[in-house]
A = this chain, B = another copy of it.
Amino acid sequence: MALRHAVLAALLDGDASGYELAKRFDVSVANFWSATPQQLYRELEQLERAELIQGRVVEQERRPNKRVFSLTAAGRAELHAFTTEQTRPPAMRDDLLVKLRALDVGDREALCEAMSARLELSEAKLARYDRLHEDLLDGRSEEEYAREAESIGVYLTLMGGRAYEQANVSWARAVLRVLELRGS
């Protein structure tokens, strides 16, 4: 039941329709969870039945109506309860790691390309996170921000995303260096 809480947490950033949530999850501020639209719509239905969120139809001109959901008090309580529950260790599932482990029987060139693609992707994400970071700080120092800001949740997950992408970038560079050393 973790997607459930990821959805609730995402709604802390403001009410959203399924479609909007899907984009939030996709471009996700600090890539804190991933989910397909179908999963989200299903989860939203269940959450509404459980009265942890409440939907209302918003009529729009020039585009289809949408159902916008907001957290209920029960939803907030559920989120609070979730933060006190036991945390399970994160599950790492990265195709690239598997492929690299299979390098000895694998295709070196294909792996170089895959690795470069990862590098680019992570650099792009990192750049985005860095911009968001600047926006959040808004001129203040890290410490000022940490002390003063009203809400700190987004900031801390953003730091997580940045650390993760930085790790990806330096790892990808190291791997490419090694592959070049041995290639050719």
User: Which residues of A are in contact with B by a Cβ distance under 8 Å?
Assistant: 2, 5-6, 8-10, 12, 30-34, 76, 79-80, 82-84, 87-107, 110-111, 114, 117-118, 121, 143, 146-147, 151-157, 159-161, 163-164, 166-168, 170-171, 174-175, 177-178, 181-182
Q: Is the CB of B152 within 8 A of A98?
A: no
Q: Is the CB of B33 within 8 A of A93?
A: yes
Q: In the complex, which of the residues B90, B94, B160 contacts A100, with contact meaning CB atoms closer than 8 Å?
A: B160
> What distance in Å separates the Cβ of A106 from its nearest Cβ neighbour in chain B?
3
Q: Is the CB of B87 within 8 A of A107?
A: no
Q: Which residues of B contact A76 (CB under 8 A)?
A: 105
Q: Is the CB of B90 within 8 A of A12?
A: no
Distance in angstroms between the alpha carbons of A170 and B83 in the assembled complex: 21
Q: Which residues of B contact A87 (CB under 8 A)?
A: 95-96, 99, 114, 117-118
Q: In the complex, which of the residues B32, B95, B114 contacts A97, with contact meaning CB atoms closer than 8 Å?
A: B32
Given A32-B92, A92-B32, A104-B12, decide whether A98 and B178 contact each other with a Cβ distance below 8 A: no
Q: Is the CB of B5 within 8 A of A102?
A: yes
Distance in angstroms between the alpha carbons of A6 and B98 in the assembled complex: 6
Q: Which residues of B contact A102 (CB under 8 A)?
A: 5, 8-9, 12, 79-80, 82-83, 153
